[in-house]
Structure 1
Amino acid sequence: MIHITDSALNAVQSAITGSSEPVDGLRIMVEAGGCAGYQYKMGLVKEASPDDTVVERGGVKVFIDNSSHELLAGTTIDYVVAIQGSGFTFDNPNAQSSCSCGKSFG
């Protein structure tokens, strides 16, 4: 299971509220790529896919596809506001290495 901080939850809720299209939730997945081997992908979606695991917190649905589920198990997703830039961060206990930007892992 993944964990979503209050800050990340608020950022997703704001994005859903501000969307011009109907949105059912946030899709998070892992794809091959990035400088460390795997990269995180996320975006708002209209509906879940049939093979998604659905995590709901505070009325926000997060969809995780089955192929990413194992790589994301135990991950904490946060939203950080900083001078250098704001964005989502991933604290993934399955990552053996990561790149300096924090968006990919191996």
Structure 2
Amino acid sequence: MINLTDSALNAVRNAISTANKPVDGLRIMVEAGGCAGYKYMLGLVDVVDPDDTVIERDGVRVFVDNKSHDYLAGTTIDFVIALEGSGFTFENPNAKNSCSCGKSFG
């Protein structure tokens, strides 16, 4: 299961409410690349793949494709506002290592 903190949920809600077109939810994926081997990808989507795992919390729907699900199981996603910049952070128990920016893992 993937967990979104209240701060992450609020950030997703805000992104959905300001989107230029209707949005069904947030897609979270893992792709090869980044500094450490894999990188997190996030984006709003208006089309759901029937094979997606759908996670819903407090009205926010999150879609995870089957290939990414095992990499993300148990991950907590937060949205942090800091002087260095704001953005999503990932606490992933499956990551053996990660890069300093926190957007890539191995």
Q: Could you say whether these structures have the same fold, taking a TM-score greater than 0.5 normalized by the shorter chain as the test?
A: yes
Counterpart of 1:8 in 2: which secondary structure? helix
What is the alpha-carbon root mean square deviation over aligned residues?
0.4
One-letter amino acid of the structure 1 residue matched with residue 39 of structure 2: Q
Question: Following superposition, which runs of at least 4 residues in structure 1 exceed 3 angstroms of deviation?
Answer: none
Superposed displacement of residue 6, structure 1: 0.0
- C-alpha separation between the residues in 2 aligned to 1:74 and 1:88? 16
2:61 aligned with 1:61, yes or no? yes
Match in the other structure for 1:37: 37
Q: Say how many residue pairs are matched.
A: 106
- C-alpha separation between the residues in 2 aligned to 1:6 and 1:47? 24
Superposed displacement of residue 48, structure 1: 1.2
One-letter amino acid of the structure 2 residue matched with residue 40 of structure 1: Y
2:73 aligned with 1:73, yes or no? yes
2:56 aligned with 1:95, yes or no? no
Q: TM-score scaled by structure 1?
A: 0.99
Counterpart of 1:84 in 2: which secondary structure? coil
Unaligned runs of 5+ in 1: none
Unaligned runs of 5+ in 2: none
One-letter amino acid of the structure 1 residue matched with residue 56 of structure 2: E
Match in the other structure for 2:4: 4
Counterpart of 1:83 in 2: which secondary structure? coil
